[in-house]
Homo-oligomer: A and B are copies of this chain.
Amino acid sequence: MHSPSEQNYIPQLQVDCVIFGYQDGQLKVLIPKLDFKGDFWSLPGGFVYQDENLDEAAGRILEARTGIKDVYLDQFRVFGSTTRTSKGFLERLIELNAEKLGDRRFNRKEYDWFTRRFISIGFYALVDISQVRLQKIELDESIGWYSIKELPLMVMDHNEIVESALETLRLFLDQKVLAYHLLPEVFTMKEVQQLYEAIYDRGFAANNFPKKILEQNVLERLEKKFTGAANKAPYLYRLRRSE
């Protein structure tokens, strides 16, 4: 295992990804659990190569865990507090896992590289969970989707990073027309409403909601097939294709 410092990364800089999905009526976040004693959950994150753009780094980190790319992915905030340093966390992790780490125990140089202050650029991604193939990478014990309402306690300030990403998602949901990244290609109006309710954690009046959504002028309603069953089924919508 080479020291990261030898791998041509930008020092003291990392990218953390809040990957949002929607499943079973719940807004969820993709969170790996580290393969170490001590129950360490940590957002998918990584370092930035010297010759790599920031969004390339975020895309690489996203793809490694989900197998997908070309999804909505944007930076939303930098987390750089002097008190978020990983020193305590890493020392605890190493102490608990001294035996397991064995030969992989960090050498001094590597330890210094890891335990310095890190500035993290937070990215958020919006994915259609049905398109994702979850993949563990080195150091993942498990990886899974956690409801935004039942997140595990993560390392460092990662719970705070998710909070901030959620604020951004709410702020831009209409302005940047973000909701449909979280839905399959075709959906009902009720499904859109349920998604909104999951994101804002509150109800929306069913009599106003479709009007509000249709005023965005981005959806097209599909023709019903006139069989008896389809006739009673709700209308289906999809994003209008740009011409």
Q: Which of B13, B53, B78, B82 interacts with A75 by CB under 8 Å? A: B78
Q: What residue in chain B is nearest A57 (Cβ atoms)? A: B80
Q: What residue in chain B is nearest A74 (Cβ atoms)? A: B77
User: Copy number of this protein in the oligomer?
Assistant: 2
Residues of B within 8 A of A13 (CB): 12-13, 119
Whether a CB of chain B sits under 8 angstroms from the CB of A99 is no
Residues of B within 8 A of A75 (CB): 77-78
Whether a CB of chain B sits under 8 angstroms from the CB of A54 is yes
Whether a CB of chain B sits under 8 angstroms from the CB of A181 is no
Flag if A54 contacts B119 (CB, 8 Å). yes
Residues of B within 8 A of A54 (CB): 78, 80-81, 119
A73 to chain B minimum Cβ distance, whole angstroms, is: 14
Residues of B within 8 A of A97 (CB): none
Give the CA-CA distance A121 to B78 in the complex, in Å. 8
Q: Which of B11, B51, B80, B175 interacts with A82 by CB under 8 Å? A: B51
Q: Which of B53, B119, B175 interacts with A171 by CB under 8 Å? A: B175
Known A75-B77, A77-B75, A171-B175; contact A10-B82, beta-carbon cutoff 8 A: no
Residues of B within 8 A of A11 (CB): 11-12
Known A10-B12, A11-B12, A13-B12; contact A117-B50, beta-carbon cutoff 8 A: yes
Whether a CB of chain B sits under 8 angstroms from the CB of A138 is no
Whether a CB of chain B sits under 8 angstroms from the CB of A52 is yes
A147 to chain B minimum Cβ distance, whole angstroms, is: 28
Q: What residue in chain B is nearest A175 (Cβ atoms)? A: B171
**How would residues 165 to 193 of chain A score, 1 for a CB under 8 Å from any chain B CB and 0 otherwise?**
00000010001000000000000000000
A75 to chain B minimum Cβ distance, whole angstroms, is: 6
